[in-house]
Amino acid sequence: MKLIKKFITLTLLLATIIPAIGGLETAHAAEDKKLKIVASYSIIADMVRNIVGEHGEVYSLVPIGTDPHSYEPLPGDAQEVSEADLVFYNGFNLETGKGWFDDLLDVTDKKDVAFAVTEEVDPMFLTAEGKENEQDPHAWLDVQNGIKYVELITEKIIEADPEHEADYQENKEKYIISLEELDQYAKDKIAKIPEEQRILVTSEGAFKYFSKAYGFQAAYIWEINTDNQGTPDQMERILNIINEGDVKALFVETSINPKTMETVSHETGIPVKSKIFTDSLAKEGEEGDTYITMIKWNIDHIVNGILETNE
């Protein structure tokens, strides 16, 4: 049954692509060619926009506020991928739920121009029994890894469009200066929290890389969004951690149903201090709608949220 459903979905996606391919060449020849770049989710899309600037158009597959671990591509998504000069995705086990991203590359035949932005990042691994060989995807929450993403993105864009190399290099240098400042800002601000209070409780265990980089202990209800969410075992485990530790604030991610964290708050009497961003940017026009402002939001709200409880 599952296979049949998959086949029907793929057939539907293909049916929308084939007519699109016919018109492709004339459309490209008609205008001054801009790079067409697809990113799997909003955070990578923002990094790509910072580098490609006016020389390209960027399309994000997973909409803002939605979970990239598991996503059902729309026919329009397949069309965007089929027309793309470059496709960027996170890799490290992020876009794996029901194989949605691999299926999309298969059906559009775009594997050759698809690149994982984590190529140069040292992976961390899941810790659950039996999953120790699976990579944890959330590397971008350490800004130094974000810089590695940006370097890889720039390299691939230059390979695809060497004519504008100077512009891409300049955009990269400016952007990386801002990212280095952001990384330092995070380190300085976090240093204000007493070490024993640096415990970050979220729904998903998305903060491994962040915690390692910025000196936190990460606690969570479930380890990765493709797990079952909020099972009795998970609830027992997180309630024990909270009861044993000096936890004063809970946080909930914007791309996750807040219900389970609200239950934890209710059971422990510890407040949910703020929403934070992990797998998605904020909506356009809102605070946190770029990679830089989402990280800054997280730092400010995590640090202030924990320090407020000391007052």
Give the three-state DSSP class for 220: strand
* Token pair for 172: 């990269």
CB 53, min distance to Zn ion, A: 29
Give the three-state DSSP class for 126: coil
- Looking at the Cβ atoms of 193 and 294, the one nearer to Zn ion is 294
**Can you spell out the DSSP letters for 68-99?**
TTB----HHHHHHHHT-SEEEE--TTSTTBTT
Given the DSSP bridges, would you call strands 124-125 and 135-136 parallel, antiparallel or unpaired? antiparallel
Q: Which residues of 137-154 are buried (b: 16+ CB within 10 A; e: fewer)?
A: bbbbbbbebbbbbbbbbb
- Cite the beta strand spans of the chain per DSSP E: 35-39, 56-60, 86-89, 114-116, 124-125, 135-136, 199-204, 217-222, 250-253, 272-276
Interaction between residue 221 and Zn ion (CB under 5 A)? no
- Looking at the Cβ atoms of 183 and 279, the one nearer to Zn ion is 279
* Residue closest to Zn ion, measured at CB: 279
CB 138, min distance to Zn ion, A: 6
Interaction between residue 206 and Zn ion (CB under 5 A)? yes
Size of the site for Zn ion (CB under 5 A): 4
- Which residues contact residue 150 at a Cβ distance below 8 angstroms, ignoring those fewer than 6 apart? 47, 50, 51, 172, 175, 176, 179
Please state, in angstroms and rounded to a whole number, the distance separating the CA atoms of residues 185 and 285.
23
Interaction between residue 64 and Zn ion (CB under 5 A)? no
CB 103, min distance to Zn ion, A: 20
Q: Which residues in the 251-310 window bind Zn ion by CB under 5 A?
A: 279
Residue span binding Zn ion (CB under 5 A) among the ranges 20-28, 34-42, 119-127, 223-231 = 223-231
Interaction between residue 78 and Zn ion (CB under 5 A)? no
- Looking at the Cβ atoms of 9 and 93, the one nearer to Zn ion is 93
CB 50, min distance to Zn ion, A: 22
Residue span binding Zn ion (CB under 5 A) among the ranges 147-155, 176-184, 202-210, 300-308 = 202-210
Q: Which residues in the 146-175 window bind Zn ion by CB under 5 A?
A: none
- Reported as type and span, the H/E element at residue 152 is helix 143-160
Residue span binding Zn ion (CB under 5 A) among the ranges 12-20, 100-108, 168-176, 220-228 = 220-228
- Looking at the Cβ atoms of 168 and 207, the one nearer to Zn ion is 207
- Which residues of the chain form contacts with Zn ion (CB under 5 A)? 204, 206, 225, 279
